[in-house]
Structure 1
Amino acid sequence: MRPLSRPLSRPLSRPLFRPLFRLFAHALAATAFALTFSAQARADDLIVSAAASLTNAFKAVGDAFEQQHPGTRLLFNFGASDVLMQQIVNGAPADVFASADQKAMDKAAAEKVIVPATRKDFAANSLVLIVPTDSRFAPASLNELTAANVKRVAYGDPASVPVGRYTEGALKSAGVWDAVSAKGVLATNVRQSLDYVSRGEVDAGFVFGTDAAIMPEKVKVALTVPTQAPITYPIAQVEGSRHAADAQSFIAFVLSPAGQAVLAKYGFKPAPAR
């Protein structure tokens, strides 16, 4: 997998380097967040840690929620779902956690940092392959990503980013994971993958459909990619929240017709019934 830039002049090739580096990076990010975000948060803020792909939609949801709850101030923390989960495990302040896949929420449940009874699926999304708007690359299938003229393909790191896990599953299902991952440019979250494509730094990239929709002047959807499992977003109250009632009110609002209408404006679909 080929990053856009390397902090080391000579990359290490030992098999254990990459997973160890990821663990170190995630721990460092969680520690830095706990120090900086804690200083910014007020005692009465309702803190929502949410997947990066929810950035635009949740800001709008937050505005609508605050209008209905004038005594509550929302503070959002957006990022890769697994990184957010690790921040919460490490003690970073949070009242609500919203993930871009079930696996990150399952990890949160296993770490006992969410209230299981409050966990609900609230939205669905799609996986798409995007290219820069001026690109002539128009693949009819994922197999075309193996072509020699395709040099770089961006996607989230499967170790910590839900869109990366969906991408890995789709490419393995198509039988092209090994070939495409050799050209891979790993992103720390889905919005970074979007940025790489929008700036023309890669030939193509994998993002959620809702992410592609926010930059129609810079990227275009080349393929809608089938996934092995539906792309669903769960939300839950964080265990030990100092604002449990407000957290549950926010979750209820996200699930309400008003909240769902806001999400729909940003391309999210209702979560399928389980």
Structure 2
Amino acid sequence: MNRMIKSLLTVAILLLVCTSCSSTSDSGTSEAGSTTLLLSAAASLSEVMDQVIASFHKEHSNIKIEVNYASSGTLQRQIEQGAPADLFISAGEKQMTSLVDQGLVTQVVPLLSNELVVVGGSTLQLTTDTLEQLLQETNPSFIAIGEPDTVPAGQYARQALDSQQLWSVWKEDVVFGKDVRQVLAYVEQGNADLGFVYKTDAMSSNQVNIIHTVDEALYDPIIYPLAVVSTTKAPEAAQLFYDYLQQEQAIAIYKQYGFTVAQ
């Protein structure tokens, strides 16, 4: 009888220990009282957001931020399909508006803005006043842009080319990238002569030159909206990071990387 009681007590103690150590691996929870948030962010934000997150972590070491970088359209579809995410930053308003209409995000606010430029290889030294002049003088074999349906930078590039009646002339020479960073890589690696990217992407590379700044009147304003995903499992932590992304510490980092604060 004593042996049986002893065994039952041992099992009970083990169960208590296991229960106290258990945790979930879902977005929004972690061990030892800390919290993990998942941020879905446009690929063009990769460098600057890594720095903002490092700055945030210095003040809030108990909140870990994991990031899923991809094209805005890809991230939109992931959220629509129920993939875990706590916050979303798109490189275009179209993707965010679709999620708002479905009730999948809340607290949408314009966060950043950017410019559209055309880059060429680092040996190409040229500046032009118009897109038509640019294409005439370079006569490119391949022009890289993001896939317009899923990549906002590609959408803006197509708008600019269409507005100058140049899309129909050059569309056979266009190669599409899955996100703006792939477009940049095409030019860096010599797989495309020209690429339409954001100014901040061009600034991040020493392998390309900006050879044309696209007239902002030719495309929709480039706005990066920020939102909280409605299904977040850690609303308080998400709100804390959401607020931090709009504070002076973060704004200073955005400006270092060439972004401007959206008005």
TM-score by length of 2: 0.84
Q: Which of these residues, 99, 115, 136, is aligned with residue 108 of structure 1?
A: 99
Q: 1:159 aligns with which of 149, 154, 163?
A: 149
Distance 2:28 2:156 in 1: 36
Conserved 8 A contact 1:146-1:176: no
How big is each residue's C-alpha offset from its partner over 1:53-75, in whole Å with a ceiling of 9 and x where there is no partner?
00001000101111111110000
| DSSP-derived class of the 1:78 partner | strand
Partner of 1:223: 212
Name the structure 2 match of 1:177.
167
Matched to 2:66, the amino acid is L
- Which of 242, 246, 253 is the equivalent residue of 2:233? 242
176-185 or 74-83, larger mean C-alpha shift: 176-185
TM-superposed CA distance for 1:110, in Å, is 1.9
Q: Give the deviation of 1:146 after TM superposition.
A: 4.5
Match of 2:109 among 113, 120, 133: 120
Corresponding residue of 2:29: 43
Percent of aligned pairs sharing the same letter? 32
Q: Is the 8 A contact 1:80 1:189 kept in 2?
A: yes
Aligned partner of residue 86 in structure 1, secondary structure: helix
In structure 1, what residue type is equivalent to 2:192?
A: V
Runs of 4+ in 1 over 3 A off after TM superposition: 38-44, 136-140, 144-149
| Structure 1 counterpart SS, 2:226 | strand
CA distance in 2: counterparts of 1:40 and 1:265, whole angstroms? 34
CA drift of 1:134 comes to 1.1
Instruction: Give the superposed CA RMSD.
Output: 1.9
- Against the structure 1 CA distance between its residues 201 and 137, is the aligned structure 2 distance closer, same or farther, given a 3 Å change threshold? farther
Give ranges in structure 1 of 5+ residues lacking alignment.
1-37
Larger-Rg structure: 2
Aligned AA for 1:247?
A
Question: Which whole-Å CA distance do the structure 2 matches of 1:244 and 1:70 have between them?
Answer: 17
Say if 1:139 and 1:145, in contact at 8 Å, map to a contact too: yes
238-247 vs 138-147, greater mean Cα deviation: 138-147
When normalised by structure 1's length, the TM-score is 0.80
Deviations, residues 96-144 of structure 1 (Å, cap 9, x unaligned): 00000111111111222101xx111111100000000112565442114
Partner Cα distance (2:139, 2:25) in 1: 48
**Contact in 2 for aligned 1:52/1:189 (Cα 8 Å):** yes
Task: Tell me the equivalent position of 2:81.
Answer: 90
Q: Which runs of 5+ in 2 are unaligned?
A: 1-23, 31-35
Contact 2:145/2:197 (<8 A) preserved: yes
Task: Tell me how far 1:242 sits from its aligned partner.
Answer: 0.3
Cα separation, 1, equivalents of 2:25 and 2:231: 19
Q: Provide the residue aligned with 1:149 in structure 2.
A: 139
Q: How many residues matched? A: 232
Matches of 2:239 and 2:41, distance apart in 1: 15
Superposed displacement of residue 178, structure 1: 1.1
